[in-house]
Amino acid sequence: MVLNTPYKKSTLHGLEEAAEICFQCGVCCTIPGYSCPAQYNGYTPTETYVYDCLDNPRREMNPALWVCVSCHKCEEMCPYEVSPIAFIESMKETALKKGNIPDLILGEIDQVINTGLAFPVSSRTHRDREKLGLTPLKTTGELSIIAEKTGLLRIIKKLREEKK
Ligand code: SF4
Ligand code: SF4
């Protein structure tokens, strides 16, 4: 075990404070097998993915935000109770409201809302599942009810119209 930092959501700091409290120790991005999966090529132990998000002057305009897969590893590993994911998700929300969202992510949102699945299911997928003895995948449009009630559908529709 590399770290033993209990996860207590109630102790997390506010967004701005969290970004300032990050000591850039690199733990959340540099422990092989445990740390941030977004720490891919281009980032280094001294210029990590998490620093890029917390310390980027472009903030919600930073396209790297959308690489975060919301796994919460950074939050669990941070010895200083910083929550990079809380900061990143807040920036994503602001970016979405300002229409600064990649088409790829918009398509992903459509996919999840319309099917309840995070990936497209092809006939090949069904065949492979059948061969493996797995039950058929079912899609559902129920998430669209939530998306409508939370206002997400309205935002997505507006963004689509703006991008035409
Ligand atoms: S978020 Fe925490 S673990 Fe990651 S670099 Fe900052 S202080 Fe270190
Ligand atoms: S939640 Fe995002 S920033 Fe945190 S470890 Fe996962 S991918 Fe990295």
Mutation choice for ligand 1 from 78, 83, 87, CB with most ligand atoms inside 8 A: 78
Ligand 1 centre distance from Cα of residue 18 (Å): 9
Domain identity same for 86 and 14 = yes
Mutation choice for ligand 2 from 3, 22, 43, 72, CB with most ligand atoms inside 8 A: 72
Per the structure, the count of domains in the chain is: 2
Domain identity same for 107 and 84 = no
Domain identity same for 141 and 70 = no
Residues with CB under 6 A from ligand 2: 36-38, 50, 68-74, 84-85, 88
Domain identity same for 142 and 68 = no
Per-residue pLDDT of the chain (164 residues; tens, 9 = 90+): 333 333 344 444 566 666 778 889 999 999 988 999 999 878 999 999 999 999 888 888 999 999 999 999 999 999 988 889 988 998 998 898 888 999 999 999 999 999 999 888 889 999 999 999 999 888 888 999 999 999 999 999 998 888 77
Q: Are 68 and 98 in contact (CB under 8 A)?
A: no
